[in-house]
Structure 1
């Protein structure tokens, strides 16, 4: 009887051990990779996937699903093979053992659509300051040229509303200051008569002695 009970106990123990889940192995990595010499974090064509350098090595690149950390270049992270989908790497979270100072990098993954009014995702709208206002915003173009892109918006001119669809400007290299360590304001605006971008060149001023009133160096359309 004792032997029979012992065998039953051993069999039950084996069954438990056979069904015990293996511990997931976390691998240290750094967020982002150099692709054709350019720093990249997101993987083109694969939503929510990011480039990771295993143990920081540029020769060990993997793509991992990320819904855990923010897109911060070189962020120390932990990745793992999901037992439910072993063909994919997943980001587990930040690697807290590697650095004590995180420079206030956000824990949040990209979630901009949740702050937008343009879709059903817009459940968490954000009230922005004037400097963050997108309509008619001049911003750098992705090519790295000296042009800027003016975002789309309606504008009022000569008693009528007009639509600016958004477009790039001419190259602004000729507006660069000529003096060493000098700066200047360049006013970029939409010419009401032509509907095209126009430019006004301000006087140069030294960055070593900035003007008391910068408005004195800003030229406005008349």
Structure 2
């Protein structure tokens, strides 16, 4: 069986703006490089290229909405996104490089169990990974834990939290940029202090990153905000 590739071109405007001329467009390409392996077969049978394309489009629009990027000028220019279903060394389920999302076929099969939740869990994974392609990171000067936490923040907001029952509880962690759930919960706390904080922080990181952005947005140093956040939830480890 030859590898499966599907290309689709979707406008970057919400449906309510579909009558306006398309100024921006993102091309979504999905390629199953290992269709004859157990993981590749699982992807084709349980997820599929069409569903992946649909999820990419929905995630793309949702990310712009969460980041309050209403015009092309506010958004990172990402003309083409490739998703590759492949086999690669290491335990990682997925990673991004450039404007590409690489998904481990063997790991995906285990991650998506039970089958009844396969598409739901896959959607959460895609919302997280797609965020990495569209978020600002201060030209890669932002802490890695912050970018991972922001990607989780979008995933949680999307309601496709594939780990909802065991997801990181508020107040957990030892440092604010620990990443993933720890940082996601801290960002939610900062949102509670200033509506739209996370979107504003993302916009400020377009060209550079500084801890001082927290002071500018919330009027308190980052270390103080973390201490107050931890104290609110009983200084959980």
TM superposition score category, shorter chain reference: under 0.3
| Larger radius of gyration between Structure 1 and Structure 2 | 1
TM-score relative to the length of structure 2: 0.24
Higher helix proportion (structure 1 or 2): 2
TM-score relative to the length of structure 1: 0.25
Structure having greater relative contact order (Cα 8 Å, sep ≥ 6): 2
